[in-house]
């Protein structure tokens, strides 16, 4: 079985090479992303393995189908970058529904603590032997209300962490989970009551720009926004205006609406043409990490194991485990 592996990073190879050799799967690792311009590279391959910023639109799917590709293996949970409807009847699409919810939830809390306790600022100061505490005053998490949007595996783990800090946890989900230690409320009530809002829902037509100009008007003054899910959940221009107007007190972003050509790459020697991102990075109350919430040894191992099992299942049974069913979606 020959698999074209796109958007390869150095940390991807070890686990996939080891498991590929064990299961007689031959990976061809491409550093480039899968796009309409690079889809010709898939000729002669049985499947493709893609990540969050690969483009698997209708044009790419048609070309994959013509090239003899039989399935798409996503090595991530989200699938908003794949035209599932267009793939139906042409290629099977499978994903990794859960790798390490602890990795993402813990990163969300790490960003929150870093922001409210000004740890990033203190670190830079002490490197210059500046031990002043001026401007480093934070606030307690204990007793604060955190609103969690999306209580799947990651959202439920984040709720447990917040409960451990003595926070009041409220949540919104179209499909409430009775096992989550949180009080479910309407989205409107969550916006109005939360001191901190953390987004853990998928990006769909319904959730796109969940944080918008209109919803920001409903938020408490000084609210902290955390997003470790998908950048498109937030209207970035509205976020910038919300921060400028002091409505939003801080933002912790592991994802960004226009991240596809920037994140996972070293752009330190380039002029960033994205003025909005440059502006966000310059703001003292904004912390941005480059989609690294998933990046733990445990998560990488789990991603490789589940992706490989999906491929093996397709080889042996003609059916992917963890298949994304268009009709179900």
Topology match between the domains 2-99+297-317 and 101-288: yes
106 counts as catalytic: no
pLDDT of residue 329: 55
Does the structure show a pLDDT above 60 at 78?
yes
23 counts as catalytic: no
Sign for the CA dihedral angle at 193, 77, 254, 59 comes to negative
291 counts as catalytic: yes
Please write the tens of the pLDDT for every residue from 205-242. 999 999 999 999 999 999 999 999 999 999 999 999 99
Please state which of the four CATH numbers 3.40.190.10, 1.10.3720.10, 3.40.50.720, 3.20.20.450 is assigned to the domain occupying 101-288: 3.40.50.720
Does the structure show a pLDDT above 60 at 35?
yes
In this prediction, residues 160-173 reach a mean pLDDT of 98
Q: Which CATH superfamily, name and number, covers 2-99+297-317?
A: NAD(P)-binding Rossmann-like Domain (3.40.50.720)
Percentage of residues in the chain having pLDDT higher than 90: 90
When pLDDT is cut at 50, 70 and 90, the band that residue 253 belongs to is very high
67 to 24, 39, 47, 60, 90: CA distances (angstroms): 22, 9, 10, 10, 12
Going from N- to C-terminal start, the domains of the chain cover: 2-99+297-317, 101-288
For the chain, the average pLDDT equals 95
CA distance 285 to 259: 20
When pLDDT is cut at 50, 70 and 90, the band that residue 327 belongs to is low
pLDDT of residue 326: 67
Does the structure show a pLDDT above 90 at 99?
no
pLDDT of residue 98: 82
Contacts of 304 (CB under 8 A, 6+ apart): 15, 16, 19, 75
200 to 105, 151, 194, 249, 304: CA distances (angstroms): 9, 7, 15, 20, 22
Instruction: Choose the catalytic residue: 230, 298, 319, 323.
Output: 230
CA distance 245 to 4: 47
Instruction: Choose the catalytic residue: 75, 86, 106, 259.
Output: 259
Please tell me the pTM assigned to this model.
Answer: 0.89
Instruction: Choose the catalytic residue: 75, 86, 95, 291.
Output: 291
């Amino acid at each position: 079985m020959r698999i074209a592996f796109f958007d390869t990073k150095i940390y991807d190879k070890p686990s996939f090479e080891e498991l590929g050799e064990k299961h007689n799967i031959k990976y061809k690792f491409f550093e480039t992303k899968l796009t309409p311009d690079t889809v010709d590279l898939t000729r002669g391959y049985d499947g493709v393995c893609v990540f969050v910023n690969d483009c698997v639109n209708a044009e790419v799917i048609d070309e994959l189908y013509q090239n003899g590709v039989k399935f798409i293996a996503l090595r991530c949970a989200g699938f908003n970058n794949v035209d599932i409807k267009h793939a139906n009847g042409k290629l099977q699409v499978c994903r990794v529904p859960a790798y390490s919810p602890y990795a993402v939830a813990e990163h969300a809390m790490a960003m929150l603590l870093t922001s409210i306790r000004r740890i990033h600022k203190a670190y830079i100061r002490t490197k210059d032997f500046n031990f002043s505490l001026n401007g480093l005053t934070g606030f307690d998490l204990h007793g604060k209300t955190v609103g969690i949007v999306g209580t799947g595996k990651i959202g439920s783990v984040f709720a447990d962490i917040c409960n451990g800090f003595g926070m009041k946890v409220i949540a919104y989900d179209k499909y409430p989970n009775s096992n989550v230690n949180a009080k479910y409320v309407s989205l409107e009530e969550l916006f109005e009551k939360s001191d901190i809002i953390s987004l853990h829902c998928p990006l769909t037509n319904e959730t796109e720009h969940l944080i918008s100009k209109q919803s920001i008007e409903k938020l408490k003054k000084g609210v902290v926004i955390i997003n470790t899910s998908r950048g498109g959940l937030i209207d970035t221009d509205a976020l910038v205006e919300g921060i400028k107007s002091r409505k939003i007190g801080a933002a912790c972003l592991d994802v960004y609406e226009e991240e596809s050509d920037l994140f996972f790459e070293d752009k330190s020697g380039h002029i960033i043409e994205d003025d909005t991102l440059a502006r966000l990075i310059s703001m003292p109350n904004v912390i941005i990490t480059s989609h690294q919430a998933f990046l733990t040894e445990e998560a990488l191992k789990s991603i490789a194991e589940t992706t490989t099992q999906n491929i093996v299942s397709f080889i042996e049974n003609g059916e992917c485990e963890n298949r994304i069913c268009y009709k179900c979606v």
